[in-house]
Amino acid sequence: MARDFDKIRRVLGDGTTVALAGSASSMTGLLLHRLVGDPRVRTVVLVDRDPVPGMDPSVRYYSVDLSQPGSEERIAEILSREEVGVVVHLGLSTELSRTPDLDHEMDTQGTMHLMSSCTMVPVRKIVLASTTMLYGAHPDNSPWLAEDHELRADRTFPFFGDKIEAERQFVEFAHRHDDRVVTILRVGLVLGPNTKNVFSHYLARRIVPVLAGFDPPMQLVHEVDAVRAFLMVITDDHPGVFNIVADAVVPLATAIRIVGHAPLPVVEPLASPVLGALWSFGVAGLPGPFIPYLKYPFLASGERAASRFGFTASFPPVEVLGDFARAQKRRRIEAGMEEA
């Protein structure tokens, strides 16, 4: 395929065509909605196995399984046909799956195939949705972790290891293609009325297990703020890695009480088997590799994003948790009405 970068630059002058790859993130629908209404965006494309429910009919959807061998040729064909200027990779898993092998294929193979397709066509910019959880929760973490801090999450656990590998692929792509804009957004713990991720599922239970004697500060980001950060790097050029976080924090036990639930202290020697068993049976809890996040802080600095492109979170923790709690209550009421 021709590498006609001048053509892409002319297209960008008339409005950017943006492609979202993967719909694993619950933010995909929110970002699609905002992009469709943005005058700086000419066309919005979605590439994934499944469409996003309720998405605007103007979104050009292509059914592609990014993890399948040969998908890079199909993706490259789509990117070329639609004259895509910006690709946003939202396909990394945000929820814990009962089929981790499938998540592994999407997080690693899907990212590799997407990167390969972007080398075949003159895509000008690629953006990756990542997470501050990759810093790892450790007792010796500095108070505010900058973007150059080592990623010390448990690499042996695929949920973390696959995302660290995806970031590595993006960084290597940036080194090989200095004519492209490559941006990685490490977003804090996202919550909101529409959010579905590891932390939202953990907080959703009426009784939330915690570790006795530990109450780490949580750095919450409203889904609206997270989407706004992606819009900022899509519509303007900001290469590099950026933490997308809030300055204000809230202790975990306080967060649980704000959403109207009760923390259930579990002594540390029993934490791994108890929380793991609860998670296995779909009752509550988290698997063992997440237990450090219930003990130690992993607070990230948002200084770089604030200074480079002016991002600051607009929702304080109480509002983030309040919006989440109201949506949870509404869903319980609706579910009760359906059962009735």
- Residue pair 315/238 in contact (Cβ under 8 Å)? The answer is no
Taking the C-alpha atoms of residue 179 and residue 157, their distance in angstroms, rounded to an integer, is 34
* Residue 303, domain extent: 5-190+220-247+298-315
Q: Residue type for 186, please?
A: R
List the structure tokens of 21.
């790859």
**Is residue 26 very low, low, confident or very high in pLDDT (cuts 50, 70, 90)?**
confident
Identify whether 46 is part of a domain: yes
Taken in order 134, 30, 78, 11, the sign of the CA dihedral is: negative
Identify whether 23 is part of a domain: yes
Domain tally for the chain? 1
Closest of 141, 195, 215 to residue 26, by C-alpha: 195
Q: What share of the chain is helix, strand, coil (3-state, %, to 5)?
A: 45, 20, 35
- Give the mean model confidence (pLDDT) for residues 265-269: 88
List the structure tokens of 14.
């008339």
Closest of 165, 185, 179, 31 to residue 103, by C-alpha: 165
Q: Is the pLDDT of residue 247 over 70?
A: yes
CA contacts within 13 A on the Cβ side of 70 = 0
Identify whether 214 is part of a domain: no
Identify whether 307 is part of a domain: yes
Helix intervals (H) in 150-301: 158-176, 198-203, 223-235, 252-258, 268-280
User: What pLDDT is recorded for position 282?
Assistant: 67
Taking the C-alpha atoms of residue 163 and residue 158, their distance in angstroms, rounded to an integer, is 8
Identify whether 147 is part of a domain: yes
**Is residue 98 very low, low, confident or very high in pLDDT (cuts 50, 70, 90)?**
low
Identify whether 286 is part of a domain: no
User: What pLDDT is recorded for position 13?
Assistant: 46
Q: Which residues does residue 43 pair with via DSSP β-bridges, in sequence order? A: 17
Identify whether 282 is part of a domain: no
- Give the mean model confidence (pLDDT) for residues 267-285: 76
How many CB atoms sit inside 10 A of residue 270's CB? 12
- Residue pair 299/143 in contact (Cβ under 8 Å)? The answer is yes
Identify whether 76 is part of a domain: yes
Provide the percentage of residues in the chain whose pLDDT is more than 70: 91
Residue 139 belongs to a domain with what CATH number?
Answer: 3.40.50.720
